[in-house]
Structure 1
Amino acid sequence: MNRAQTGQRGEAAAAKFYLDRGCRLLTHNFHTRMGELDVVVQEPDGTIVICEVKTRAEGSLTTPSEAVNRAKQRRLIRAAEAYLQRTGLSDAPVRFDVAEVKPLDSGRWMVHIIRGAFLA
């Protein structure tokens, strides 16, 4: 499995994590000139969750969330603003999560969600 495939499967695992908890998938891989939003879901209470998915192979020297530095956070916030304006969801409460996703030997995926990883 190459890097792109690993990333796509990691994003699918993160989306499934939210769907299994009653969220509704609004979009994935939403592209703007400011950046890309990996997974956007709406929780049953109406909160919009913008989730940055970081997938790493077992044995990686850094944790996935370490890749979401301040500059990356600013790009995600700007991309989220564009998405929310474009979809008419600007008034909804928003939360930014980071999903750390790792493949397991069993072929399954370990998904760890950092809720409210950063603020807009």
Structure 2
Amino acid sequence: MWFSRKQLAKEPGGGASAVGTENQPGQITTKRLGDAAELLAQAHLVRAGLTLVQANYRTPGRGGGEVDLIMRAPDGTLVFVEVRQRTSSSHGGAGASIGATKRRRIIFAARHYLMRFSTPPPCRFDVVLVEGEAGSRGVMTVEWLRGAFDAD
């Protein structure tokens, strides 16, 4: 049965819990899947020789941007990494979800981060695609796309 928000607000317990849509401890949410994908991507990049500089860098204010991982390559290049996770490759998979608006926000956040340097180091934008399902039977693949897009 479907309930409107007004009907749910009248229910005892006040809201979404009346129909069992509240997140329970241990429940898999898109936030938890995303966090797990970022940790998997970070571990993959560290094994490849990069070092973590910062995770989840956000610009202040509304409408800004975010960089999932900022890494440093062995040659000193600062690598801004976007991590995309999808459980299925339908609709183009994880890579298809990085549109022009998303790239613009990542570039905006990277430029904001680089303002702290008097002379910015060499930089590039990488993407790590994590596809598949976690769990005992799930197979997850990690694909690292170096220099996936430019700031131009």
After TM superposition, the score normalised by the length of structure 2 is 0.71
Highest Rg: 1 or 2?
A: 2
CA RMSD of aligned residues (A): 1.8
Instruction: Map Cα deviations across residues 47-91 of structure 1 (whole Å, 9 max, x no partner).
Output: 1111111000135433211111112111111100111213x2752
The structure richer in strand per residue is 1
Amino acid at match of 1:45: D
* 1:65 pairs with 2:95: yes
* 1:117 pairs with 2:136: no
Question: In the alignment, what sits opposite 2:4?
Answer: none
Question: In the alignment, what sits opposite 1:8?
Answer: 35
| 8 Å Cα contact 2:55/2:70 also seen in 1 | yes
The runs of 4+ residues in structure 1 deviating greater than 4 Å are 104-108
* SS of residue matched to 2:68: strand
Q: 2:69 aligns with which of 39, 43, 63?
A: 39
| 8 Å Cα contact 2:89/2:131 also seen in 1 | no
Question: In the alignment, what sits opposite 1:92?
Answer: 121
For structure 1, the residue ranges without an aligned partner over 5 or more in a row are none
Identity of aligned residues (%): 34
The number of residues matched between the two structures is 119
* SS of residue matched to 1:27: strand
> CA 1:10–1:96 in 2, change beyond 3 Å: closer, same or farther?
same
* SS of residue matched to 2:141: strand
Select between 50-59 and 7-16 the one with higher mean Cα deviation.
Answer: 50-59
Instruction: Map Cα deviations across residues 75-108 of structure 1 (whole Å, 9 max, x no partner).
Output: 111100111213x275211110111102456456
For structure 2, the residue ranges without an aligned partner over 5 or more in a row are 1-27
Q: Which has the higher contact order (CA 8 A, sep 6+)?
A: 1
* SS of residue matched to 2:102: helix
